[in-house]
Structures are given as C-alpha cells and as structure tokens.
Amino acid sequence: MVPLEWYITLSTVIFIIGVIGFLIRRNIIIMLISIELMLNAVNLSLVAFSHYLQDLKGQILVIFVITVAAAEAAIGLAILVSLYRNKAVVHTDKITEMKG
C-alpha cells in the first residue's frame, strides 16, 4: 500500500507549481489555469486524507470545491471577456490604468 505521505507530497508539489505559475506568468488565462491547478492539488490531498482517515468529510468538501471552481471559472472568464471588449488585452502588464 502506498503511504499517505506520498499523496500529500505529490499534492504539495502540484500546489506549489500552481503557486509558482500564478506568480511568474502574466497571461490571465494561464494564471486562471494555475489557480485550477492549485485547487486540484487541494482536492487530491483531501481525497487522500479522506481515504486514509476512513472519513467522508474530505470528499464532501472536494465536491464543493469542484462546484465553486466551476462557478469561479465562469465568473473569471466573464470578467476577462468584458475587459477584452474594452481593451483587447489578456496580459496583466498591459492593464495598468491605475498606479500609485
């Protein structure tokens, strides 16, 4: 049997890759994908904990996280579309109306 630590380590690595992706990329779609990556890492650790602790709460939370992730993606992409209509960029460095 694979130990629990392996799953948690895997999940942490994916989570951190998501964090790095969010920090070093400035393409909004890739930043959104990095967030999805982080959420997937969380789901993975929750399912692993849930399996090893013989408890279903973790998997219930996973279902909610997936629901919220879908809602979040819809809203994020809607914001992107409304921005693109006015400005035609998807790069955060080019969106700098406000500074200070």
Please report, as residue ranges, which positions from 2 to 41 form the binding site for another protein (by CB under 8 A): 2, 4-10, 12-41
CA 47, CA 55: separation in Å to the nearest integer?
10
Contact call for residues 40 and 14 (beta carbons, < 8 A): yes
Binding to another protein (CB under 8 A): which residues in 79-98?
79-93, 95, 97-98
Report in angstroms how near the CB of residue 3 gets to another protein at its nearest: 9
Site pattern 40..79 for another protein (x: CB under 8 A): xxxxxxxxxxxxxxxxxxxxxxxxxxxxxxxxxxxxxxxx
CA 52, CA 8: separation in Å to the nearest integer?
11
Report in angstroms how near the CB of residue 87 gets to another protein at its nearest: 5
CB atoms within 10 A of CB 84: 12
Q: How many of the chain's residues bind another protein (CB under 8 A)?
A: 95
Report in angstroms how near the CB of residue 1 gets to another protein at its nearest: 6
